[in-house]
Structures are given as C-alpha cells and as structure tokens.
Chain A
Amino acid sequence: MTDQPLLAVRDLRTHFHTFSGTVKAVDGVSFEIGQGEVMGLVGESGGGKSVVGFSILGLIDSPGKIEAGEILLDGKNLVAASEAELRKVRGREISMVFQDPMTSLNPLHSVGRQMDEVLRLHTDLDAKARQAACVEMLESVGISRAAERLKAYPHQFSGGMRQRVVIAIALLARPRLIIADEPTTALDVTIQSQILKLMRAQIAEKGASMILITHDLAVVSEMADHITVLYCGKVVERGRTRDLINAPSHPYTRGLIDSIPDTVNRHDRLSQIPGTVPDIRNLPKGCNFRDRCPRAQALCAEVEPQLEPQHGTLSSACHFPLKPGEAA
C-alpha cells in the first residue's frame, strides 16, 4: 500500500473523431500523483490539458473517446468504471474547478442550492448541517456574509467571487484530488494570487492532492511539487519543479520558461517560442516541436523521440536534450 500513488495515469489516449479528421488531443500521456502532492500540468493552448482533466473524471463526450490507457485511482481503473461508479468518484473523490468561472455555475439556481447539491449527493448530513457546512466553506474561501450570500444568484457575483464559489463547491465534499483547470486565468492579477494562495492553503489543510492546469509556468513554479509539460497531446518533459525550472532538458520547456515575464526569468529580455503549434489533425512525422526548435537536426524529422531519463529528476522526449547550464 505504501508506494501506490493516489492517481496514476498510464498511456492515456483521448481522441476526437470530427468531420475534418481525428484529433488526437491526448496521445499517450502518463503521470502519477501522490497523496498531498501538487502537480502542475502546463503547455500552450490546445495542448490537451483540459482534455486530460475531463478524461480523469470520465467527462469526455462524443465525438471524443478514451481510446486507450488506464486511469488508476488507488489502483482502481476509472476508464473501465461504470457511469454509476464514476458518479461516486466525481465530486466525492475527485473534483474539478473549470477554466471559466463565468459559465461554470447554473444561472438559474441560487449559489446555496448549487453548493448544497454536492453535499446532498455525497454526504448523509441533514439540511441544517449542510447549510452550516456551506456557510463555513464559503467563508473559508473568503466570501463574507456567507449565510446571506447563499440565497444570491451567480449573476449577482463578480468573476472572482464566482470562482471562489466554484472552488468552494470543489472542496465541499473533501475530495482527495482536485483538478484545477486554469482556476485564475479569467481573473485579474491581484485576485489571481489571492485565489491561488487560498487553494494552496485549503489543500494543505485537508491533505488533498491537486492537478494545477495552466499555461503559466510562473504560477506552477510557486505551487507545484512536480510538473508535467504537454505539447500536442504528448508529455514532452516532466520532473520535480526545481529541477525543471532551473535546468529544463527539453527546448520547449526552455522556451516556456524564457517567456515568463518574472523574476524566475534570468535572461535580459523576454523571448518567445517562434512559430505556432502545428495542426493537431495531421501532425508531421518525427518530433512535433522540430519546426519551432533551435536545436532541431535531420534526425528530428525522421524519428519521434521517446520520454527518457535526463539529469536530476527530469525525463524528456528529445533527441538533443539540454544539459544543465546549457542555453537553448
């Protein structure tokens, strides 16, 4: 029992069969999260981060389908689980904070009712106890006059407050894993750091684990124990946060770090990764990143690199990985 991770994702492949071709949004992704750990899942827009999150909860709708892989929660495979079994996992074992706080809440139900729903589904508490739990949770995410606010509707809340409500809902049933999908991207900067601090505190207090999805390496570098970098639906690099931020081995990770406008960035001027993400519907042979990569050579156009151990705790999928101290 000692070494089993809370969640292990093995070779997950989630594809969307659209009219214009198959989108391999997630294609062979693996990672593990231990009890109480925070994992950062980063990458550019369209990299498949949200799809990984929805796959874990079994929320992939047609035309999407989990084609292969395992998602093991305490060793139990969620991919093979029935809808009824998944319902007991959702909200109770694993909950999710969606990307957009403005659209995650039902506009026609009061905030209190939407919070209460989680407790009704997953606990045996009576109405009074549920109400008390909702008030307490709302206050703990920093909403004052909580008892009164329970009667309010989402449109009476600002974006930041709505995201707090969504986070409160995600935390209510004390899940063991929280998937936070860019929980602060839609909010302005001052509120961003407030909400992140709050989430970290709540998670630490409850001993829960978290997958923090973001395209912002600066955010995860502060929050995460380890980081997984996605590019075109594949893991290109992963490892402990300090190793990965200080000395990434994949040129894509290097590019992401160099584009952080922050003290983490030790370069004189901000750089950005040249080019754009290739069309995920027909990816070229070889390495997906090679057209944007400063280190690309002939081999990169022929053979797709596989994830291999690098220095420190890192693994990356690159034929010509960076060594510590080496510039891209």
Chain B
Amino acid sequence: MLGYLLKRLIQMTLVLWVVSVIVFLMMSFTGDPVFMVVPIDASDAEIAQARRLLGLDDSLPVQYWKFLTSLLQGDFGRSYVFRQPAMTLILERMPATVELVLVAMALAIAVAIPLGVYAGANPQSRISRVIMAGSLLGISLPGFWIGMVLIYLFAVHWGIFPSSGRGDTVEIFGIRLSILTWDGWTHIVLPAVTLSLATMAIILRITRAGMMEVGRQDFMKFARAKGATRGDVLYKHGLKNALIPVVTIFGLQLGDLIAFATITETIFSWPGMGKLLIDSIYRADRPVIVVYLMLVALIFVVINFLVDVIYMLIDPRIRLK
C-alpha cells in the first residue's frame, strides 16, 4: 500500500514536471510579454532594460531553469496587470469556482444516479425512454445556450432567481463562501444548473449502461432469491458494481468543470477563476495564465489519484492486488 502510494506520488510529480515544460514552451513561443510592461513610448534602451529585468534575454534552458526554481520556491510571479502575486489573484477567486462546481456536481449526482439506476433496471418502461431522451438533450444542447435560456426564463421573465454575481458571502477561515447565505443560494442555482446538465446526462447514461450490464449477472438474481428487496438488489448489489466507470467519469468531469467553468462563469458574471483566466488571456497576463495552468494540472492529478483510491475502496479485487 505504502509502496503504491509512493509510486503514485512519483508519477504525479513527473506529470507536473512535464506540464511545467509544456507551459513554459507555450509561453515562450506566444508573443513577447515585454510590451505588456513597458510604456507605449518606451525607447529601445528601456525595452532592453525591461527585457533584462524579466530575464527574457537569457537562453531558453536558462530561462526554464529560472522558471522552474522560482515555481518550486512558491514564487509564481506577479500579474503584469494587477501588480499583485499571480497566485494570490487566483486563490482569491478559486473558492467561487470550486463552490459552483461542487454544487453543480452534487446536483448532477443527486439526479443522475437514481434516474440512471431506474432506467437501467427498467429499460423497456416509458419513463426510462423519457429519461434517456432527456439525457440526450442534456448532452447535445450547448451550455451557453441553456444558460441564456435559464436567464431569460427564471431571471428576466419570472424574476425568481438573480442572473449575475455571487450575492452575499460569508468569510470562513479567510475563504469567502456564498452557499452559507440564502442570497448566495439564490445566486448559485442558475449557474449550477447550467454547469451540471451535461455532466448529469453523461453520468446518467454511464450509470444506466452499468446497471444494464450488472442486471444480467447471476449474483443479482441470487440476491433476489435470498429475498432481498428490489431497492437493496439495485442499490446495494447492483449500483456498487456499476460504480467504477461512474467514478472514472465523475473524476474527469470534476476536473473539467473546475478547469473550464469559464463559459458559465462568463454568462453569469460569476467571479471565479474561469473569468480571471479569460481576462488574463485578453491582456496576455502571462504569470496568471502560467499559475492557472499549473494549478489546473495539479487539480487533475490529485483528482485522478483520489479516483484510484476510491476504486480500491469499492473493489476488493483491486485493493488486494
């Protein structure tokens, strides 16, 4: 077990290192950031000076070495635009994104798993067909369109929910959260629904496929032959066996949503990381983009690791290997 964890840790470090190389190369080949820092009417001498200060006149390997060592020391540079540490900027906005994504994922699971189990257990029923047709819509309709329809209906037309911002927040341990206030909840509903629909549809379909597969297994019939209730057979015996692919997709989707909640955040003016990323790309704010990409890579790697741990918790055959 300990050996396995160590191996995974080394793997994770390796992945992050590769990402750092890719991010560095990408940044070096896309535009010259020196013009972001110098005034428009700067002289050639001033530009050369700035370049030296930014370390841009070194050779690529030297630049990379400096880049890497400062990353390792926790120095991620300052935003050219905000003149603040890039890390601080992102960490300030991260709770908003994580909060939105977690609410969206919770919603997706709460709806998708029961419906998926039902549709998998009763593939012929009319309700199942309706569920599956609905999930197809969820997959094929683009998120931004759904977001705009929701804003039109619930914010503009009926005025039930607000359409932008986070609403009231409460600060806990230095993290600002909106899910602790009623006003915050009303603000999070529409973006969370928008963000969750596609994931909900995918998880639903995977759950259904898994349940149909498991339903054919002898041990399901044997559980019934023991006198177990339908609910126990489906959830305790069936769902657990159908869960491995669901957990896989869940992990991928979770990382995806955290990294790319951008569109939803933009539509609902949700002050999260995604919106910061878009703004930074417009302004070629290189340090912020670098930190963002590294952070997202870290999140993916960690989620992937957690998914593997969950596999082991679910399946004793994996655990004991």
Contacts and interface: CB of A to CB of B under 8 A. Distances in A.
A59 interface: yes
Interface string B55-70: 0000000000000000
Contacts of B225: 57, 59, 90-91, 95-96, 98
B43 interface: no
A153 B218 CA distance: 17
A105 B217 CA distance: 10
A42 B200 CA distance: 50
Contacts of A155: 316-317
A92 B226 CA distance: 8
B107 interface: no
Interface in A89-113: 89-92, 95-96, 98, 100, 103-110
Given A62-B124, A153-B317, A104 B219 contact: yes
A106 to B, nearest CB: 4
B31 interface: no
A292 interface: no
Given A98-B222, A104-B218, A107-B219, A122 B240 contact: no
A88 B219 CA distance: 19
Interface string B220-258: 011111111110100011001100000000000000000
A117 interface: yes
B314 interface: yes
Contacts of A121: 226-228
Contact of A109 (B229, B230, B237, B317): B237
B222 A90 contact: no
B315 interface: yes
Contacts, number: 74
Given A153-B317, A155-B317, A87 B221 contact: no
Contacts of B217: 103
Interface centre among B218, B226, B240 (most CB of A within 10 A): B226
A108 B314 CA distance: 7
B317 to A, nearest CB: 5
Contact of A105 (B219, B224, B229, B314): B219
Contacts of A118: 226-227
A88 B229 CA distance: 10
Given A104-B218, A155-B317, A90 B241 contact: no
A203 interface: no
B316 A87 contact: no
Interface in B278-318: 314-317
B227 A87 contact: yes
A73 interface: no
Interface string A137-174: 00000000000000001011000000000100100000
A54 B236 CA distance: 22
Given A108-B240, A108-B241, A108-B315, A90 B218 contact: no
Contacts of A87: 227-229
Interface in A56-74: 57, 59, 62
Interface centre among A59, A91, A96, A108 (most CB of B within 10 A): A108
Nearest to A86: B227
A103 B222 CA distance: 9
Interface in B119-166: 124
A308 to B, nearest CB: 35
A106 B227 contact: no
Given A106-B237, A108-B314, A153-B317, A95 B226 contact: yes
Closest 8 CB pairs of A and B: A91-B227, A103-B218, A90-B227, A91-B226, A153-B316, A106-B219, A104-B222, A96-B225
Interface of A: 54, 57, 59, 62, 83, 87-92, 95-96, 98, 100, 103-110, 117-118, 121-122, 153, 155-156, 166, 169
18 contacts: A57-B224, A59-B224, A62-B124, A90-B226, A95-B225, A96-B225, A98-B222, A100-B218, A104-B219, A105-B219, A106-B219, A107-B316, A108-B241, A108-B316, A109-B240, A153-B316, A156-B320, A166-B222
